[in-house]
Amino acid sequence: DGGITQSPKYLFRKEGQNVTLSCEQNLNHDAMYWYRQDPGQGLRLIYYSQIVNDFQKGDIAEGYSVSREKKESFPLTVTSAQKNPTAFYLCASSKTGFYGYTFGSGTRLTVV
């Protein structure tokens, strides 16, 4: 079955360390997105990519970096510059022009 795989489901890191969250899709979707979810807030867009080797900043990109070397993969790195990295991170993909979204199951990152 096609879908989005995010790994790991839970991640613990020490303050000051960079950490990379994985997102892989086998839906042949062109666009991929990273969202952050905090308690009591709607999901907020971190980065998005509509085509391989190209990506754009979302609303809260500071302290994060991404790459899109393959259509299937859109990893997110949470750097030590992100002041409050503890959150739930969701990856999504869509077929541009169709608007149909598929979401991953998320990664809960805790920085101690």
Partner 1 sequence: KNEVEQSPQNLTAQEGEFITINCSYSVGISALHWLQQHPGGGIVSLFMLSSGKKKHGRLIATINIQEKHSSLHITASHPRDSAVYICAVGPDKLIFGTGTRLQVFP
Written as one string, the DSSP assignment of 46-99 is: EEEEEETTEEEE-TT-TTEEE--SBTTB--EEE-TT-S---EEEEEEEE-TTT-
Question: Which of the stretches 19-27, 33-41, 61-69, 75-83 binds partner 1 when contact is defined by CB under 8 A?
Answer: 33-41
Compare residues 58 and 63 and give the one whose CB is closer to partner 1.
Answer: 58
Provide the β-strand partners of residue 88: 37, 108
- Applying CB under 8 A, among 43, 52, 60, 61 the residue interacting with partner 1 is 43
Contact set with partner 1 (CB under 8 A): 31, 33, 35, 37, 40-45, 48, 50, 58, 88, 90, 92, 94, 96, 99-106, 108
